[in-house]
Chain A
């Protein structure tokens, strides 16, 4: 038991320290302020609309803008955080003083990864609270469905964070992992195209065409598909003809967790014997 506590204590101390350090970063604060401004500003979107027509459009606009803002700024915060937690320490040489302590590399990585998650969760929660308040003021009822949407958004960010983190363990500066993270986000959202490529392949009858289709099919099955999390838009807008989400949400959470473990294992694999 003591050994387990010992294994956990080290990573947790690193996580807390990473969080304290990361939350003060100007770039992240900048993104957060911008996102909060957009979420706050969405409440005044009615200024663009005809004041005489009383419809539910305002509420819809607020919901859609806030969900998009949280997705965009949340993804940026996730990428910048996950891309910088390890390379920054390599750049400013802090990593040497940490790794000389009785702590294993996987514990260090786990601490850094958990620290990044704390930063992401706190930022997401801040954006979510403002969104929650904007909806509550407008509707007068607690928008509890929003919590499920935020939860799904976090699990999407978890996958993004894990793979950006994995790339960052191979780099010595945050620039490459940041670009890599954005690439993961974009391609993760465009995975559906691979299915389209697979469906269209084989029309010419040439082996290359056929093979491209097969490769696209395999990639579609293997690569994480971030569009699966688009369910959050459906939850927030809650149409009566939506299918029950009780099956989808746990499956998506499991999907996010599995790929997060995969990303962390990849990071560990890269960092295992990395020359520092």
Chain B
């Protein structure tokens, strides 16, 4: 009798514990759903803020709008300023420090309706940025990668990576690209795969290719740029890194590589370089990241911001050798360029007011700024020689002393190979102004420049990068 009841009690206890296990399992599932929602939200927010690459066949943008609308009423977003309150998720996602607040939002009641829509859309495969989130992959069940490697997909990604390394040494670059993409499909957090993959595409795959002449380039609607075979690889690398950023929006390395290695080094697109390096410095980063940002700011003509950046760097790392030796040089260089810019602006203003009574005063102001810039470069000694020569050449140009100006610029360009092209362009301009015959290479350069910026299939109203 005792035995029979004992068994019954045990069976009931087992059922109760199993029910408790199922209940706890549901709690864990809810948390995993919230985690997937959180990851998607960061990806969608970073895309919305930086790339706006959402395809219209997906619902990501629509759902993010819903999330923003619902979050606007949540207490977590009450402290946001008026301009951010309309798009609270997008605004919060900008700062790493707000991740706790976003995590709290995705689990809270305010976003519960959006959470339901998110899961439904993800299961139907309607979310572009939910594809790589492990939990959702399993829900969608299209490829089954989640289960294919039985939870050991990171190891599979690692072995593939070793194969990629082998192909690299064999020179099988084209086989590598497919494998690298498989690597990051298996392990979306494989940061080095994104970095090295992009490096292979932008640098190694294009190493033996010449820049495609503008006449042979074609307009690419997707990239909104004129691309040839070589340039296409740059955009492949950009796409690869952007994909990595969406999946790892809090890793500075990917922003850095996109800004520095691709946009600055390969495409000379300093505006975009500044854009992505600014994102990188917002996250925990290494010391060289802000330095590259300030250099790109200088190249992009943002001298005041670059000076402020270098001064901040000096305050942050007062004992660094770079602070003592390199930073002051960059600050002085930016100050000189800023004076030059102010002189050019003042000169333009004076030229515009040539026939008015204000002209003498404006011209005097421009001359004062010119002298100030010249004095600045002189005070810098050898470091300022090239810029000093440029300014003096411009002064000679103003005085119509063409040959002297050209000779000075020719000397300057040999002293500063990194500015060779700028100085050569200036020499051509001065020669044309002064009616001095151009050399053969200069005539070719002029012909080349005529085609620059236009390509086959390019819409009339479109603009493209000229690099």
Report A's interface with B, CB cutoff 8 A: 48-50, 53, 55-57, 60-61, 64-65, 67-68, 71-72, 186, 189-190, 192-193, 195-196, 199-200, 221-222, 224-225, 227-228, 230, 233, 237, 239-241, 243-244, 247-248, 251-252, 254-255, 258-259, 261-262, 265-266, 268-269, 272-273
Contacts and interface: CB of A to CB of B under 8 A. Distances in A.
Given A60-B192, A230-B134, A272 B6 contact: yes
Nearest to B150: A189
A192 B18 contact: no
Contacts of A193: 138, 141, 144, 147
B24 A265 contact: no
A227 B148 CA distance: 13
B120 to A, nearest CB: 10
Given A241-B39, A269-B7, A258 B17 contact: yes
Contacts of A60: 158, 190, 192
B272 interface: no
A163 to B, nearest CB: 11
Interface of B: 3, 6-7, 10-11, 13-14, 17-18, 20-22, 24-29, 31-32, 34-35, 38-39, 42, 96, 99-100, 103, 123, 134-135, 138-141, 144, 146-147, 150-152, 154-155, 157-158, 161-162, 165, 168-169, 189-192, 195-196, 248-251, 283-284
A48 B100 contact: no
Contacts of B24: 251, 254-255, 258
A239 B151 contact: no
A233 B141 CA distance: 21
Contact of B158 (A61, A228, A239, A273): A61
Contact of B249 (A49, A200, A241, A259): A241
Contact of A50 (B32, B165, B189, B284): B165
B15 to A, nearest CB: 9
A272 B7 contact: yes
B158 A64 contact: yes
Contacts of B42: 241
Contacts of A221: 22, 25-26
Contacts, number: 149
Contacts of B158: 60-61, 64-65
A269 B100 CA distance: 45
* Residue in B42, B103, B152 whose Cβ sees the most chain A Cβ within 10 Å: B152
A247 B31 contact: yes
Contacts of A244: 100, 103
* Residue in A193, A240, A252 whose Cβ sees the most chain B Cβ within 10 Å: A240
B21 A255 contact: yes
Chain A: interface secondary structure?
A: helix
A1 to B, nearest CB: 25
B31 A262 contact: no
28 contacts: A56-B192, A60-B192, A61-B158, A64-B155, A64-B157, A64-B158, A65-B155, A190-B150, A193-B144, A199-B141, A222-B18, A222-B22, A225-B29, A228-B25, A230-B151, A240-B248, A241-B248, A241-B249, A248-B35, A258-B21, A258-B24, A262-B18, A262-B20, A268-B10, A269-B10, A269-B14, A272-B6, A272-B7
Contacts of B161: 57, 61
B11 A269 contact: yes
Shortest 6 CB-CB contacts between residues of A and residues of B: A196-B141, A240-B250, A192-B138, A241-B250, A262-B17, A64-B154
Given A247-B31, A265-B10, A48 B165 contact: yes
Given A50-B168, A61-B158, A192-B139, 10 more contacts: A190-B147, A192-B135, A193-B138, A222-B18, A237-B189, A240-B248, A251-B28, A251-B31, A265-B14, A269-B14
B103 A255 contact: no
A241 B21 CA distance: 29
A134 to B, nearest CB: 15
A42 to B, nearest CB: 10
A236 to B, nearest CB: 9
Contact of A266 (B14, B100, B151, B190): B14
Nearest to A248: B31
A200 B141 contact: yes
B341 to A, nearest CB: 38
A273 B3 contact: yes
A255 B189 CA distance: 27
A51 to B, nearest CB: 11
A71 B250 contact: no
Given A189-B150, A225-B25, A258-B24, A239 B138 contact: no
* Residue in B20, B22, B161, B196 whose Cβ sees the most chain A Cβ within 10 Å: B22
Contact of B162 (A48, A225, A252, A259): A48
B25 A224 contact: yes
* Residue in A71, A225, A227 whose Cβ sees the most chain B Cβ within 10 Å: A227
B250 A53 contact: no
Contacts of A196: 138-141, 144
Contact of B169 (A50, A255, A261): A50
Contacts of B138: 192-193, 195-196, 227
A192 B147 contact: yes
B344 to A, nearest CB: 43
A62 to B, nearest CB: 10
Contacts of B152: 68, 71-72
A262 B14 CA distance: 6
Nearest to B10: A269
Nearest to A159: B21
Contacts of A67: 154
A259 B21 CA distance: 6
Contact of B27 (A48, A251, A266): A251
A268 B32 CA distance: 32
Contacts of A189: 147, 150-151
A99 to B, nearest CB: 16
A224 to B, nearest CB: 7
A186 B13 CA distance: 26
